[in-house]
C-alpha cells in the first residue's frame, strides 16, 4: 500500500492531490506502527482516516484550516463554531 501511494504521489500533477496523498501516506505508516505494537483498535482507526484522505485526493476537496485559535482563549471550529 505504501509503495502504491508513493507511486501515485510521484505521478500526480495536482498539488491538492499530493497534499492529501502525503497525509494518507503518513497515516498508513502510523497505522502500520500501531498494528506492530499490538494496538489493533488504533491501527484500524488510523487506516480508516487514511482511506478518507485517499478518497479526498481524487476529489476536488481543498485542504483548508478548520480550527482557528488566538493567542489566548479557546479554539474555534470554522464549520461549527465549537466551542461556543
Task: Say what the pLDDT of residue 78 is.
Answer: 54
Tell whether 68 is covered by a domain.
no
Tell whether 10 is covered by a domain.
yes
Tell whether 13 is covered by a domain.
yes
Task: Say what the pLDDT of residue 84 is.
Answer: 44
Q: Do 25 and 12 touch, CB atoms closer than 8 A?
A: no
pTM: predicted TM-score of the whole model, two decimal places: 0.67
Tell whether 67 is covered by a domain.
no
Q: In whole angstroms, what is the distance from residue 28 CA to residue 49 CA?
A: 9
DSSP state letter for 62: P
pLDDT for 8-46, tens place per residue?
989 989 888 899 999 999 999 999 999 999 999 999 999
Of how many residues is the chain composed? 84
Tell whether 7 is covered by a domain.
yes
Q: How many domains, in total, are found in the chain?
A: 1
pLDDT for 49-79, tens place per residue?
999 999 988 887 665 655 556 666 665 555 5
- Structural domain span for residue 10: 2-60
Amino acid at each position: 500500500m505504501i509503495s502504491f501511494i508513493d507511486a501515485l504521489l510521484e505521478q500526480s500533477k495536482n498539488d491538492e492531490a499530493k497534499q492529501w496523498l502525503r497525509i494518507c501516506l503518513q497515516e498508513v505508516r502510523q497505522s502500520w506502527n500501531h498494528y506492530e505494537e499490538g494496538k489493533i483498535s488504533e491501527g484500524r482507526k488510523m487506516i480508516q482516516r487514511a482511506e478518507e484522505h485517499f478518497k479526498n485526493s481524487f476529489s476536488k476537496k481543498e485542504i483548508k484550516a478548520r480550527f482557528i485559535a488566538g493567542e489566548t482563549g479557546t479554539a474555534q471550529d470554522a464549520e461549527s463554531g465549537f466551542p461556543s
